[in-house]
Amino acid sequence: MQRDFDLVVTILSELRNADAASLSQQDIEAAVAASMPDAPATAVMVHHLDILADAGLISMVAQNGQASQPHWRLTWKGHDALDQQDEDDEEPEDDD
């Protein structure tokens, strides 16, 4: 399965901008669907959550001690990655 960088940035941004410290997979899917006109299927979303966790950008946390309802939170490394993305977006493009 191909990595979708737009989806990666959207997931990370939704976690950063959330009112709660963590979001459920359902909450993330709903937020992504609201942000992306062509939101991916659940299997694609789950794959991206897994590879983001593998990269250390997000972390799974048990909600109320229940591992059956995992939630995801943004890690320090995830915040740094978004900060770098924001800086890259702000840089003027060189037209040379």
What's the pLDDT score for residue 95?
60
Amino acid at 9: V
Span 28-45, pLDDT tens digits: 999 999 999 898 999 999
pTM for the model: 0.86
DSSP code of 92?
Answer: P
Class of domain 1-83: mainly alpha
69 sits in which H/E element: strand 66-74
Domain boundaries, the chain: 1-83
Measured at the CA of 58, the angle between CA 57 and CA 59, to 5 degrees, comes to 135
In this predicted structure, what is the pLDDT of residue 2? 92
